[in-house]
Amino acid sequence: MDWLNKKYVLQLFLWTIGVLIVLELILRIFVYRPVPRYVNDPVWGRRPAGGSIVFWAIEGNGTTHYVADGEISTPYSGGDNIVVLGDSHTEAWQVNDDEKYVSVAERELHQSNSPVDLRNLGFANGSIADYVYLAPFVISQYHPKLVVIQLSDNDFWGNSGFDATRTNYFVQDSNGQVEIRHIPLLSSDPWYMPIRGLAIAAYAYNRLQTIQELQLENTIPSPSTDSQVLLDEHNIEQLQALSTAYSRIPTIVIVLPYNPKIVNDHIEFLDPFQQEILGQLRKFDSFTLLDPSLAFTDLAKRGIFPRGFANTQPGVGHLNPQAHKILGQLLADLIKSRLSK
């Protein structure tokens, strides 16, 4: 009877492998085709290799092409460099390359006879600490005419910039001064490609991250509460470090709001936390601010939320193509204004 048990175990194993292969193919064709290859850069960390193509339909529906290690394709090349740094809202797997706000801005600039080269270096989970650490390398490698840095409310939740588990993070020395720390990436990571290279594993990992991000979003105080929303000292120190890091380069800072959004069956337009962030940023003369709140509010009043897709909840998640278009046009106008000075 032992041979019968072995036979059934083998059949179960083969059926399981077969189901997993079919599921992997379905995910790759219809849902998610992950980064095929990463490169480990001692400065930038793990980056999608040049030539990589990512298909993403978990939220939205987009294909992203990497023209160089970590750099996302834009419509044009050549001319003065403008480096754009940001998190997953800038990397924007949810929309196609030509729909990302960086590409929209570059196209608008070229059509108005301002031939500049916007370099989209956005990467998921980017933080202020990352942008500060990368500043000397961005400046020396790209010699940018201007730098654009996209921030979100989550850059300030819980002072994530001081999280020592991240590759780049802030510490406060004995004199109370804020310094940046960097954890070099290990050159070898044997489990990473076999596991994360599978669409099944990458899909599960990204779904877990999305759930965690949504849970964190729900902790943001609402304007309907009586609590006052303020940035603390560490938040302001991070902004000071960012200002110092790019003091030699004209810098545009985009602050993406999470409103308008639906809360308790009504739309909330005001985001007091974002207003506090903007208020603090205005104290830095080195920053030129881009706040798309009014344009996003007008969009919502026309019945279209800036966040959310046909396959997700309205008002939640990353920017959709309509919001990218608005943000790209606003950015193009502001870049033209800065370059004319």
* Whole-angstrom distance, CA of residue 202 vs CA of residue 32: 8
The answer for residues whose C-beta is within 8 angstroms of residue 217's C-beta and 6 or more apart is: 154, 258, 316
Predicted TM-score of the model (pTM):
0.88
What secondary structure does DSSP assign to 94-119, as a single string?
TS-GGGSHHHHHHHHHHHTT--EEEE
**In-domain check, residue 13:** no
Domain assignment of residue 5, yes or no:
no
Give the tens place of pLDDT for each residue, 168-192: 999 987 777 789 999 887 654 444 5
CATH number of the domain residue 110 falls in: 3.40.50.1110
Residue 236 lies in a domain: yes
| Residue 22 within any structural domain of the chain | no
Identify which has the larger pLDDT, 181 or 200.
181
Residue count of the chain: 341
Higher pLDDT, 130 or 4: 130
Neighbouring residues of 256: CB distance < 8 A, sequence distance ≥ 6: 89, 150, 151, 152, 153, 292, 319, 327
Q: How many domains does one find in the chain?
A: 1
Task: Look at residue 25 and tell me whether its pLDDT is greater than 70.
Answer: yes
Residue pair 38/49 in contact (Cβ under 8 Å)? The answer is: yes
Q: What is the pLDDT of residues 206-263, one digit of tens each?
A: 667 666 665 655 554 444 443 445 677 778 899 999 999 999 999 999 999 988 888 8
Do the domain assignments include residue 157? yes
Domain span at residue 200 reads 34-339
Residue 4: what pLDDT?
A: 60
12 part of a folded domain = no
Is residue 4 a part of any domain in this protein?
no
The answer to whether residue 139 is domain-embedded is yes
